[in-house]
Structure 1
């Protein structure tokens, strides 16, 4: 991580990095937000790993709640970075039964809807699978995986509009878009999920921001 931080500082970029983090004997699906100065300014772990992810990764705690959607919207998020694994189109049902929400198209649409629902820019960064790393990822002979493929990266505006051209599903690329944060204000005049569209008298969210600990030292 220190080498990555040094590289980020040298490049003068703001980086959101997704990776598997080991803490003690557990693995977590993690994101670190690294400033152009090379400092980790924010860190989170996925609250609840999904489906087969649960066999390998542990649950995040309350200190990662900030990126649950409604709670995140309440913090006036302006730019959300959506990190996705490689996902593919629906396979041949004769060879493999599958669920639509586990496809790249569904995750693309979910990211686009988050931009609309939260009136936020959404940067979709998706992993791809190449022929060279099929074996490394234990995916040889898998009826779902297509190589090269799996990618669906995009940049969405706060009204859900695509702000750049799509790239091929198996192509590594850098997507670029000029954004104006003032566009968020215009989107919120139509939809403001935690503002003038909210009804806290009928529905509200209670949050525990304190992380649970396995051991608490008595004083």
Structure 2
């Protein structure tokens, strides 16, 4: 496992707080969640042994990002092979909370790290693309469900709502996440800025060069550290028998790169601290000087002195949206019997 590291030194500024952060750029073990968690355990331990206090994994690491999966879906067309492929994918997803969440919490505690883990969550038979948050004490802090799946993702994942847009105030900074192309949603970003996000995690499946421009913009716009984590996958990492469509790649060989990574860490001042890595699985590590947040916001504070609330305003609905709500009146059995006796 290769490691990219850039250590920033503080020049005698005792008011600055340094946080070492690591992005894990690695592939899921598809259709095998226990082995995926075993792989995560080794990677978390490796990052912690290098002094990292925060470890961020890619989108859908637990359960897998289904790149190229077609699930037999076309307009007005369905097939049995696609349904069975979804059955396997559903089986690889995890309940939140659940035993896998407990295991991840224990890994965070054992390695004394804050952990942000991309996972495919199942709630009944609906799946969600989710980011899970854990404290270094081994507590499950909560989750963010992707509010807007992209393109064909909408056929296999549900939509998150405003009840899971958290920013956690932790000893290492205020921690939040936007998943993949949520990062292109200005109002979603503004909601995170409004909650004071400082460590802006961007688990993604977008390994394009253009993605780097979005990450740079968000770091400068939000005056926050951006930690973008993307999987690096070869064709051999995917199931052999699945119906895939990799239109942009020559997938005749097992060693063909299918997801090229590009994980990167960027400071609030727009400095690339580590990455991007487009070449291999690996750990991308940097030391974050939290003093850079105040330095950046001297000139631009997107929800502060540069916000113009007399003209622009955002309202965020944080109430959970449930498809079925039961309203009932509880009546004690003894009250019924008393009524009948009268």
Taking structure 2 as the reference length, what is the TM-score of the superposition? 0.55
Q: Does 1:158 align with 2:278?
A: no
Q: Does 1:53 align with 2:157?
A: no
1:32 to 106, 115, 132: 132
Residue deviations 1:94-135 (CA, integer Å, cap 9, x gap): xxxxxxxxxx11222111211111000011111111132244
Give the distance between the partners of 2:220 and 2:103, measured in 1 at CA.
Answer: 37
SS in 1 for 2:286: coil
Residue deviations 1:11-68 (CA, integer Å, cap 9, x gap): 1111100011000110000010011122111211000101111011010012124452
Against the structure 1 CA distance between its residues 78 and 137, is the aligned structure 2 distance closer, same or farther, given a 3 Å change threshold?
A: farther
Residue deviations 1:149-208 (CA, integer Å, cap 9, x gap): 5210110001221012432x1411111111111111110111111111111111100111
Asked whether the equivalents of residues 85 and 128 of structure 1 are also in contact (C-alpha less than 8 Å), the reply is no
- Aligned pairs for 1:109-188 within 5 A: 109-136=213-240, 138=242, 142-145=246-249, 147-148=256-257, 149-167=259-277, 169-188=278-297
Unaligned 5+ residue runs, structure 2? 1-99, 167-177, 179-187, 251-255, 330-342
Which of the pair is proportionally richer in strand? Answer: 2
Give the distance between the partners of 1:142 and 1:74, measured in 2 at CA.
Answer: 39
Give the count of matched residue pairs: 202
SS in 1 for 2:220: helix
Moved beyond 3 Å, runs of 4+: 134-141
| 1:143, distance to aligned residue in structure 2 (A) | 3.0
Higher RCO (Cα < 8 Å, 6 or more apart): 2
* RMSD, matched Cα: 2.0
Asked whether the equivalents of residues 118 and 131 of structure 2 are also in contact (C-alpha less than 8 Å), the reply is yes
* Pair member with larger Rg: 2
SS in 2 for 1:179: strand
Give the distance between the partners of 2:195 and 2:273, measured in 1 at CA.
Answer: 24
SS in 2 for 1:72: helix
Taking structure 1 as the reference length, what is the TM-score of the superposition? 0.84
